[in-house]
Structure 1
Amino acid sequence: MLKSAIKAGEFLVTAEVTPPKGGQVDHMVQQALTLKGWVHGINITDGSRAVLRMSSLASAVILRQHGLEPICQMACRDRNRIALQADLMGAHALGIRNILALTGDPVKAGDYPKARSVFDLESVRLLKTITQLNAGIDANDKPLPDGSTEIFAGAAVDPQLASWSGLQKRFERKVEAGAEFFQSQLIVDFDRLDKFMSQIAEPHGKPVLAGIFLLKSAKNARFINRCVPGVNIPDWIIERLERSKEPLQEGIAIASEQVQQARQICQGVHMMAVKREELIPQILDRAGVEPIACT
């Protein structure tokens, strides 16, 4: 669905679901099923913020068994190039075709600060590895005797990065390495997003999905600023949430307004509503985005 929607030039909608912290998947599946008919793909996070959770690959397979299209995030922090290639081949064998290649958040950000980081590869080299596996060659430039993979690779981008030249260089390297689509970090500066699209992204013809995050309260916004690397929610949004008698409803309004802004600038949105994924259809509907089943 995601690959064909990109080829058709549709406005893209993806959303993020967090794997369980334990062996029970019912809640994850239930939340993901509320997105059916509204999104082209569902991201399964891979140790986001370096917090221990169930394997993203296992979670992606479970969602696929329920008729959903997963986008399996794969981070380089915890695995070397042998393990990453093994997981990529396993993903292909299990029918998981969409992979979001990530470097991974630093270990010190999470709940196992004494764990050892690997970072044998980072996101660009992981993308190159995927491109090689798709061509039937491993990272040692040796042919794969049992057949190539068919993986549709995506990457992350942060249009609000302070270094404009660094942003451009990194984006272009990811395109060159084989990224077919991009999902952005949480966007709050849409003027910056517009500039990024016109000056950097559009000439390459790869779809960019703006990250839209449901803020549930001013406290939630401050927590994100404090704990999520690279995110800076501006004071005026925090104050708007603080003034509201119903902060969750205000957060829904803010998110829907941001979806509307993104529709004027880029090719899609990547929705994040941690622990309240069932509210994503409401946000999209309020923003005027129709269910995919109706298009």
Structure 2
Amino acid sequence: MLNTRNFTALSSFRTAAKAGEFLVTAEVAPPKGGNTEHMLAMTATLKGRVHAINITDGSRAVLRMSSLVASLILQENGIEPICQMACRDRNRIGLQADLMGAHAVGIRNILALTGDPVKAGDHPTCKGVFDLESVRLLQVIQKLNIGLDANDKPLTDGSLDLFPGAAIDPQCPSFSGLQSRFEKKLAAGAQFFQSQLITDFEKLEKFMDAIACGTNKPILAGIFLLKSAKNAEFINRVVPGVTIPQHIIERLRAAKDPLEEGMKIAAEQVQIAKQLCQGVHMMSVKREDLIAPILDMAGVKPVNLVTK
């Protein structure tokens, strides 16, 4: 006999977003292999401190476990996921199939991404697909939510109920390009935005005042834990579009305990972001256990989780 499982969608993130609460999300990479022990240990430290946890989808084009499967594992452990979905590795058939699967198992939050180029990763000779990019993926989600596929044909077994989001970079050198891209993603149905790592909060403020103001969609500022001056210099060298200011690098270099200083810097940035936008997206590669202490330092209280 077929074993039918009843999946219940977690709703804390969507509920809090629509209620205008200050949102806290964090980012965790799936394992590179079949053992999820470390991933679950890190995410366990975030229970009650974040509304949802992003599971990356081949970030930097590096092979890791399926974001959809890892998101399901988190959900089965009582943690609400935001499943990142990149266009690099799947055509529109594969993407739609995964979106249907996400809905079927109760995963509702999707971050639509174009995806990093394959040459940046650990399989540089493989072929990228890029049948869609992030805006068109958002458009497809919009159609699936009203019961149509990408070809405007009816879904014979029911529409979806996904809560799609998008990435945004307020530090983009082209302000007009930033505005155009943001407006396209908004028109395509993005319900929330998570930013890239923010170091220039004046640019974030300009973005919020001149572009995002009045859209009534949550913007979450990307806050990254810098572990040392060497770590900051590495990011400047290898991460496109990101520049860690020299004064921050020198502050880390002069610190007796660079990791503790990095936590203080991140907490200060969270406090600045609270004055500018509706949330923060915390990134602390391989040290997600430090996110809760950073939030404590920033005076961010535990979140109120609501499930249905």
TM-score range (shorter-chain normalised) is: over 0.9
TM-score, structure 2 normalization: 0.94
1:228 aligns with 2:227: no
1:253 aligns with 2:264: yes
TM-score, structure 1 normalization: 0.98
Number of aligned residue pairs: give it.
Answer: 295
Task: Name the structure 2 match of 1:196.
Answer: 207
One-letter amino acid of the counterpart of residue 296, structure 2: D
Task: Name the structure 2 match of 1:56.
Answer: 67
1:113 aligns with 2:124: yes
Task: Name the structure 2 match of 1:151.
Answer: 162
1:43 match: secondary structure: strand
Provide the alpha-carbon RMSD of the alignment.
Answer: 1.1
**Equivalent residue for 1:128, pick from 130, 139, 158:** 139
State the Cα distance separating 1:229 from its structure 2 match.
Answer: 2.4
State the Cα distance separating 1:294 from its structure 2 match.
Answer: 9.5
Deviations 1:264-284 (A, max 9, x none): 000000000010001101000
Task: Name the structure 1 match of 2:183.
Answer: 172
Measure, in 2, the Cα distance between the counterparts of 1:23 and 1:294. 29
| 8 Å contact kept, 1:101–1:123 | yes
Q: Flag structure 2 segments of 5+ consecutive residues without an equivalent.
A: 1-11
Which of structure 1's runs of 4+ aligned residues deviate more than 6 A?
none
2:241 match: secondary structure: coil
Measure, in 1, the Cα distance between the counterparts of 2:281 and 2:172. 18
State the Cα distance separating 1:204 from its structure 2 match.
Answer: 1.2
Deviations 1:73-120 (A, max 9, x none): 000011111100000001001111000000011111111111111111
| 8 Å contact kept, 1:46–1:73 | yes
Q: Flag structure 1 segments of 5+ consecutive residues without an equivalent.
A: none
State the Cα distance separating 1:203 from its structure 2 match.
Answer: 2.0
One-letter amino acid of the counterpart of residue 88, structure 2: R
1:208 aligns with 2:219: yes
Deviations 1:179-234 (A, max 9, x none): 00000000000011001001000121111000000000111111112222221111
1:292 match: secondary structure: coil
Task: Name the structure 1 match of 2:18.
Answer: 7
Measure, in 2, the Cα distance between the counterparts of 1:226 and 1:115. 24
Task: Name the structure 2 match of 1:34.
Answer: 45
Larger deviation: 10-19 or 236-245? 236-245
Q: Percent identity?
A: 70
Task: Name the structure 1 match of 2:279.
Answer: 268
| 8 Å contact kept, 2:51–2:305 | no
State the Cα distance separating 1:293 from its structure 2 match.
Answer: 4.2
Task: Name the structure 1 match of 2:171.
Answer: 160
Task: Name the structure 2 match of 1:138.
Answer: 149
**Equivalent residue for 1:23, pick from 19, 31, 34:** 34
One-letter amino acid of the counterpart of residue 124, structure 1: V
| 8 Å contact kept, 1:49–1:228 | no
Deviations 1:160-190 (A, max 9, x none): 0000000000000000000000000000000
